[in-house]
Chains A and B, each alone.
Chain A
Amino acid sequence: MERLPLHGIRVLDLSKVWAGPYGTRLLADMGAEVIKVEAARAWDMIRSLSLLPGETERPYNRAAFFNHYNRNKYGCAIDFSKPQGRDLALRLVAISDVVVENYRSDVLAGLGLTYEAMREVNPDIILVSMPSHGLSGPEAHYVAYGTNIEQLAGLPSVSGYPDGPPHKSATSYGDPMAGATAAAATIAALLYRRNTGLGQHVEVAQWEAFLPLVGEFLVEHSMTGQEPPRRGDRHSSMAPHGVYLCQGDDSWVAIAVGADDEFAALCHVLGRPELAQDDRFEDVVSRHRHQDELNEIVSTWTQEHSHRDAAKQLQAAGVAASPVLRLPELPEDPHLTERGFFEEVTHREAGTWLIDRPAWRFDLTPAHTRLPAPCFAEHNDFVLRGLLGLSDEEMVELEREGVVSSEPVPGQDE
């Protein structure tokens, strides 16, 4: 096998929770050596969410969210707020290619870890900062998390049932999108550095990184002067278009029909070929006008089928359709299974479970989980002795001073 794309790139990962760690995980999946730094009193609070049930000695090593977003990374615990800790941080900067952080805009400066300080020890370092509102501007000091980001960008205002209020997306959508943007920005900066020799400070303001996801609406509004309506599952021109109830528990199939031949194919599958000749449904305009009637007809048929069977029949006839897959249905989905999308991972304290493989699928350098997520401080030795060459005496001293830790202090950052 060829070497992974980012083999030989070292990333110092100061990011926490979701947005930053999702980005650095993409880099780690691609072969970068990502070193995640926490501290005894500033550990990644996502270690406290989605825990395995039952009493356990180190619950923070058994958190689903943390153990997914931090696979393929190394973990160590250094307190940067202490002078010796800051010194260690700069020594790590000196041997890294990239630093990623998602603190509020003023935090890194407060620790004395500015881009200028990093540049002094490593002139071609790439620093990627991910503050929610950016490093400048009247609201630079504001705080916003993933769902706030989409709210500020207007996405809920155009999402929602046509008769209902603005609606949030299901997840903290701004987080993974900021992370994916930061990962791309990092690799772009690495390419630029390879061509020019120049490192730089890259700013991924999460609010701005989200604007491309509503860009079509910004352009539309500037063209028409109108607010785009909330359409729910309906479409501006296609009909039938939506989700239809099927047999089973909360089972639905999504169907989208545009052109006349697709509608004829749908009618055939429904066993109602005469509908294709019906005046009410003869073209895309009349179908859109009579979509309520159409939806009832389609729904009558789908309720006699499972969502998988309905989608299969419709696709075989050339109609765009898919089961609305529930999360428990994904790991058993035949398509994802055949593609080998899920693989087993074994973590030394959290056991064995299925994890999704990297969605960046390369044919020569396929990526997978090489390393489970780190237990708290698991790689202190690898990082401090191995990479920085600290002696036994120095390690003991740093641990005694509380600069380097092997256990988190509970409750500090929850």
Chain B
Amino acid sequence: MPDEGLLSELTILDLSEGTAGPFATKLFADYGARVIKVERPGRGDPARRVGPFPDTPHPEAGALFLYLNTSKEGVTLDYSTATGRRILLELIEHADALIESATPGELDAIGLGVEALHQRNPRLIVTSVSAFGQSGPYAKWRASDIVAFAAGGQMSITGDPDREPLMTAGHQAFYQAGLHAFGATLAGLFSVGVIEIGQHIDINAMECQAATIELYLGDYLYRKSDILSHRRGNSASAMIGIYPCADGHIGVHVMPRNFPAFARLMDAESMIDDERFRDARARLMNNDEVLATIYAWAAGTTRDEAYRRSGELRCSAAPIYSIGEVLQQPHLRARESIRELDDPRAGRLSYPGPPFRTAEGGWSLRPAPSLGEHNEAVYGELLGLSRCDLVRLRSAGVI
């Protein structure tokens, strides 16, 4: 089965912990790359201890960890010891890329800096994933989700104008870094085939966020206008917002070309030929009147009705789905966009399906590994270590 994956030619050594790095390596693993997740013996990735947990308490099976580490092989290794370091360097000879998320300088200090890695495998792509990057005054700052989100500029424009800045749920700063680390590492791997030499890639949440909000940041950089630098609550303009409806909330994202369809959706066709709403600028000048129409319409419709009619009219309104509703969406079910997987510790769980679909080279899910689950397979197969060797390493605390 692994041979059928889009990326099954690749082996990735994954030293990363938490969210950003493991998200990147999950994307590799689900597309068939052999991802060897290296965790510290006894301790493991701290994400294992982030709840919620299944009914039967299981210290290794937090939902976040089970999500972020599918399809990976798990080994334990204390590479701060001399033996552990030697084993890691041997593993590197079998790897195409190494992904790590240590504090900058930490791997250098134990003899596993980029130069040492390249000495052992000159074609290795080393991707460092962090909150702030490998250099600069904040490089060694401690990070958390909210701290990374604050540093990237996104938080200052999220939330209501008269309230505190708001963090978007989940680990969005780190997911942005992880997704970009996936793409950048692929680009690095592609270049190895051309320039025949590996390199070091620095991906950090702060710069990735500045890039993904660039529409807003770019407006300031270019026009020196801070009009897009303020929090605008749930309605950036009437045409882009979230509004209460009869049974929940509806989202509207109407581009100029969709306005006639939107007026029809609201049964307000007279707006189409009304001078006050004739183009985007006019609608912005009369934003309050547009808003009043939208509020009145939304209050009298349900999410399903608005969405179905929006689809018919080729307009762009959508329901605000709850998480439970996302899992049940007929369109997603028909496309198998949500996949079920039996986890040995937590039972049947639902996961997102492939983020992109390929006609050639597949995608599949396997449960996240237990701590050290693949020690025998990886150390035996790649390094030729015997069971007796592994017992010795275990008793020495190396694995």
CB within 8 Å of B: which of A290-338?
Answer: 315, 318-331, 334-336, 338
Q: Which residues of B contact A336 (CB under 8 A)?
A: 136, 206-207, 210
Instruction: Give A344-359 as 1s and 0s: 1 = Cβ < 8 Å from B's Cβ atoms.
Output: 0000001001111011
Looking across the interface, which residue of chain B has its beta carbon closest to that of A221?
A: B323
Contact A359:B147 (CB < 8 A) given known A184-B186, A214-B170, A218-B352? no
Q: Which residues of A contact B359 (CB under 8 A)?
A: 200-202
A-B contact pairs, 25 of them (CB 8 A): A2-B195, A65-B215, A133-B331, A141-B311, A167-B166, A167-B168, A176-B212, A181-B356, A183-B183, A200-B361, A207-B332, A211-B326, A216-B64, A219-B67, A219-B349, A243-B150, A254-B149, A320-B141, A322-B151, A335-B133, A335-B139, A339-B136, A361-B201, A414-B256, A414-B257
Which of B36-44, B240-248, B370-378 has 4 or more CB atoms under 8 Å from chain A?
Answer: B240-248
Contact A356:B211 (CB < 8 A) given known A185-B356, A221-B327? yes
| Contact A143–B51 (Cβ < 8 Å) | no
| Contact A45–B255 (Cβ < 8 Å) | yes
| Contact B135–A147 (Cβ < 8 Å) | no
Instruction: Give B348-360 as 1s and 0s: 1 = Cβ < 8 Å from A's Cβ atoms.
Output: 1111111111111
Interchain CA distance A230-B338 in the complex, whole Å: 23
Interchain CA distance A46-B211 in the complex, whole Å: 17
The answer, among B153, B197, B244, for a CB contact under 8 Å with A330, is B153
How distant is B34 from chain A, measured CB to nearest CB, in Å? 15
| Contact B229–A327 (Cβ < 8 Å) | yes
| Contact B188–A211 (Cβ < 8 Å) | no
B9 CB-CB contact with A under 8 Å = yes
Q: Which residues of B contact A272 (CB under 8 A)?
A: none
Which of A152-160, A278-286, A401-409 has 4 or more CB atoms under 8 Å from chain B?
Answer: A152-160
| Contact A233–B358 (Cβ < 8 Å) | no
CB within 8 Å of A: which of B172-230?
Answer: 172, 175-176, 179-180, 182-184, 186-191, 193-195, 197, 199-204, 206-208, 210-223, 226, 228-230
| Contact B354–A208 (Cβ < 8 Å) | yes
Interchain CA distance A219-B258 in the complex, whole Å: 35
How distant is B346 from chain A, measured CB to nearest CB, in Å? 6
Interchain CA distance A159-B267 in the complex, whole Å: 31
Interchain CA distance A252-B151 in the complex, whole Å: 11
Which of A72-80, A82-90, A191-199, A387-395 has 4 or more CB atoms under 8 Å from chain B?
Answer: A191-199
| Contact A360–B7 (Cβ < 8 Å) | no
Which of B72-80, B155-163, B390-398 has 4 or more CB atoms under 8 Å from chain A?
Answer: B155-163
The answer, among A161, A205, A342, A364, for a CB contact under 8 Å with B199, is A364
How distant is A141 from chain B, measured CB to nearest CB, in Å? 7
Contact A145:B255 (CB < 8 A) given known A6-B190, A359-B180? yes
Interchain CA distance A211-B23 in the complex, whole Å: 13
A228 CB-CB contact with B under 8 Å = yes
Interchain CA distance A373-B192 in the complex, whole Å: 28
Looking across the interface, which residue of chain B has its beta carbon closest to that of A319?
A: B142
Which of B86-94, B105-113, B289-297, B314-322 has 4 or more CB atoms under 8 Å from chain A?
Answer: B314-322
Q: Which residues of B contact A20 (CB under 8 A)?
A: none
The answer, among A142, A331, A335, for a CB contact under 8 Å with B137, is A335
B13 CB-CB contact with A under 8 Å = no
A59 CB-CB contact with B under 8 Å = no
Interchain CA distance A158-B147 in the complex, whole Å: 19
Chain B residues bordering chain A, tally (CB within 8 A) = 155
| Contact A222–B348 (Cβ < 8 Å) | yes
Contact A233:B146 (CB < 8 A) given known A50-B222, A148-B251? yes
A-B contacts besides A159-B169, A414-B256, 4 pairs, CB < 8 Å: A143-B258, A170-B232, A180-B212, A364-B197
Contact A209:B51 (CB < 8 A) given known A166-B249, A180-B180, A327-B229? no
| Contact A354–B221 (Cβ < 8 Å) | yes
| Contact B207–A341 (Cβ < 8 Å) | yes
Interchain CA distance A136-B257 in the complex, whole Å: 24
Q: Which 9 A-B pairs have the closest CB atoms?
A: A5-B191, A211-B352, A254-B150, A184-B183, A256-B144, A64-B222, A222-B350, A151-B251, A68-B218
A165 CB-CB contact with B under 8 Å = yes
Q: Which residues of B contact A218 (CB under 8 A)?
A: 67, 323, 326-327, 338, 350-352
| Contact A414–B279 (Cβ < 8 Å) | yes
| Contact B31–A413 (Cβ < 8 Å) | no
Looking across the interface, which residue of chain B has its beta carbon closest to that of A64?
A: B222
How distant is A362 from chain B, measured CB to nearest CB, in Å? 5
B54 CB-CB contact with A under 8 Å = yes
The answer, among A200, A205, A228, A353, for a CB contact under 8 Å with B358, is A200
Q: Which residues of B contact A235 (CB under 8 A)?
A: 146
How distant is A67 from chain B, measured CB to nearest CB, in Å? 7
Q: Which residues of A contact B253 (CB under 8 A)?
A: 144-148, 172
| Contact B180–A156 (Cβ < 8 Å) | no
A189 CB-CB contact with B under 8 Å = yes
| Contact A359–B210 (Cβ < 8 Å) | yes
Interchain CA distance A7-B142 in the complex, whole Å: 37
